[in-house]
Amino acid sequence: DAKTTQPPSMDCAEGRAANLPCNHSTISGNEYVYWYRQIHSQGPQYIIHGLKNNETNEMASLIITEDRKSSTLILPHATLRDTAVYYCIVYEYNAGNMLTFGGGTRLMVKP
């Protein structure tokens, strides 16, 4: 069963903010939200993760709703090199549990 729902594709104009939504309505209290991205012909790359609070790093910001049922990954100034598939993953560590990639959102940044 998929734990996350993401739109299959999105477009964004270069230089604008890209806001990628993710629904995780069945998330449990101990599960974190992780975001990875995969640029064409490359391996996935970690972006950011969070539990309840909003998080920001040099790559992106993560906004998690108060009920934790959804989140948004924000790329503040998208560039053409941000064109990639973005995966939202909910994950809780326990024995035998591994990060599981879902469908992802294919983001196309256009000039």
Partner 1 sequence: DAMVIQNPRYQVTQFGKPVTLSCSQTLNHNVMYWYQQKSSQAPKLLFHYYDKDFNNEADTPDNFQSRRPNTSFCFLDIRSPGLGDAAMYLCATSRDLVRTGSTDTQYFGPGTRLTVL
Binding site for partner 1 (CB under 8 A): 30-32, 34, 38, 41-46, 49, 51, 87, 91-93, 96, 98-104
The distance of Cα 42 from the centroid of its chain, to the nearest Å, equals 17
Nearer to partner 1, 70 or 86 (CB): 86
Q: How far is CA 11 from CA 24, 63, 77, 83, in A?
A: 22, 20, 13, 9
Q: Helical H runs in the chain?
A: none
Nearer to partner 1, 34 or 78 (CB): 34
Least Å from the CB of residue 38 to partner 1: 8
Least Å from the CB of residue 95 to partner 1: 9
Nearer to partner 1, 33 or 78 (CB): 33
Least Å from the CB of residue 9 to partner 1: 12
Cβ-proximal residues to 108 (8 Å cutoff; 6+ apart), any chain: 9, 10, 11, 12, 83
